């Protein structure tokens, strides 16, 4: 039995198609990522799978249970960390955790082995109200609360959004450790650097899945050379490159632009030369998952 099966799910809000024909499966023990920008439909899908929202069309099962007919059992069996902070701000760390344990008819002690690693990091602040914790600590507490009843499947909706880079890294280290305990995890993120930490990912945009694969296969399937470019005036460089028909895609990547071209590179250089860009640098770049994602987004936009 697969932990998550999604078949042809559709969901609209008025005229807006939030999800369009979404299908995928999550395997036993898998860390599966839904990757996409704001508005891609990730939270809507989480809400359908955690039985908080009904799809217009399509079927889905979680741990073999139908999200419509068996919603009560699913609610008992899954852990869900919603995108927005879900804890009680006035309750302390300890009180929040005990509260979540109680509503699932269990105790913190009963499943302590599962949360021990994470809880120990916030235990020194056990008496502090959740509202007074840093973003990274809130996120650890929210994860403990989602795990306290030993869920059979874990849903984490944008757990690292708005969290500092160090806490983001720590969080992903925690997820890798959780994975070794065999809990299948569906996690969403808008951050591409987190995509590569998943076993498989679905790249989403505007309510549709563009590709599902392992991060390595997605990168391997990227068929174009990528050029890293920079100049003193990056704003003008990006504007000039995007205005040139020989440039296929161009977007900011760290301190460089990542550029793909549908002409010889020499033609791009010849186009830029008279424009007088100071400090212009052009060098080959190694394609990453961001490049694959941008290419897929562009292809989808061209089809639309």
Ligand X SMILES: Nc1ncnc2c1ncn2[C@@H]1O[C@H](COP(=O)(O)OP(=O)(O)OP(=O)(O)O)[C@@H](O)[C@H]1O
Give contact residues for ligand X (rule: CB under 6 A).
Answer: 13, 16, 18, 36, 38-44, 83, 158
Return the number of the residue (161 or 213) whose C-beta is nearest ligand X. 161
Q: How far is the CB of 101 from ligand X (least distance, A)?
A: 28
Kindly tell me which of 56 and 173 has the beta carbon lying closer to ligand X: 56
Residue 241 to residue 259: CA distance in whole angstroms: 8
> Whose Cβ is closer to ligand X: residue 84's or residue 283's?
84
| Smallest separation (angstroms) from ligand X to the CB of 132 | 25
- Determine the Cα–Cα distance for residues 174 and 172; give it in Å rounded to an integer: 5
**CB 122 to ligand X: min, Å:** 25
CB of 149 to ligand X, least distance (A): 25
Torsion, CA 36, CA 201, CA 48, CA 64, rounded to 10: 180
Shortest Cβ 176–ligand X spacing (Å): 23
Nearest to 116, CA basis, from 72, 178, 56: 178
CB of 18 to ligand X, least distance (A): 4
By beta-carbon proximity to ligand X, the closer residue of 32 and 227 is 32
Q: Which is nearer to ligand X, 46 or 172 (CB)?
A: 46
Query: Which of helix, strand or coil describes residue 81?
Result: strand
Identify which of 249, 247, 253 has the alpha carbon closest to the alpha carbon of residue 272: 247
Least distance to ligand X from the beta carbon of 50, Å?
13
Nearest to 145 by CA among 194, 88, 62: 88
In this structure, are strands 57-62 and 208-213 parallel, antiparallel, or unpaired?
Answer: unpaired
* 69 dihedral zone (left: phi>0; alpha: psi -120 to 50; beta): alpha
Which tokens belong to 224? 């174009």
> Of the two residues 54 and 216, which places its CB atom closer to ligand X in the complex?
54
End-to-end CA distance of the chain: 36
Q: How far apart are CA 148 and CA 55, in angstroms?
A: 28
Q: Which residue number, 34 or 229, has a Cβ lying nearer to ligand X?
A: 34
Buried (b) or exposed (e) across 203-236, using 16+ Cβ within 10 A? bbbbbbbbebeebeebbeebeeebbbbbbeebee
């Amino acid at each position: 039995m697969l932990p998550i099966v999604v078949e042809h799910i559709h969901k609209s809000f008025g005229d807006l198609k939030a999800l369009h024909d979404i299908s995928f499966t999550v395997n036993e023990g898998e860390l599966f990522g839904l990757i996409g920008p704001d508005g891609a439909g990730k939270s809507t899908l989480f809400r359908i799978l955690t039985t908080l929202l009904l799809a217009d069309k399509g079927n889905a099962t979680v741990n073999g249970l139908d999200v419509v007919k068996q919603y009560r059992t699913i609610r008992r069996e899954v852990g869900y960390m919603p995108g927005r902070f879900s804890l009680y701000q006035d309750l302390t760390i300890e009180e929040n955790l005990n509260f979540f344990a109680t509503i699932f008819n269990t105790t913190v002690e009963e499943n302590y082995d599962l949360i021990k690693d994470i809880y120990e990091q916030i235990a020194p602040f056990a008496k502090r109200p959740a509202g007074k914790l840093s973003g990274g600590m809130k996120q650890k507490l929210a994860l403990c609360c989602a795990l306290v009843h030993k869920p059979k499947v874990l849903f984490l909706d944008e757990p690292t959004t708005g969290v500092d880079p160090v806490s983001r890294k720590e969080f992903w280290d925690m997820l890798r450790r959780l994975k070794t305990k065999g809990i299948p995890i569906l996690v969403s993120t808008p951050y591409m650097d987190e995509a590569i930490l998943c076993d498989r990912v679905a790249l989403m945009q505007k309510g549709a899945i563009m590709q599902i694969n392992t991060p390595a296969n997605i990168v391997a399937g990227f068929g174009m050379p990528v050029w890293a470019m920079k100049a003193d005036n990056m704003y003008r460089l990006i504007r000039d490159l995007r205005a040139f028909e020989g440039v296929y895609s161009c977007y900011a990547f760290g301190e460089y632009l990542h550029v793909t071209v549908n002409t010889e590179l020499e033609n791009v250089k010849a186009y830029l030369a008279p424009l007088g860009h100071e400090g212009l640098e052009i060098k080959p770049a190694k394609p990453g998952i961001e490049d694959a994602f941008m290419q897929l987004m562009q292809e989808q936009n061209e089809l639309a």
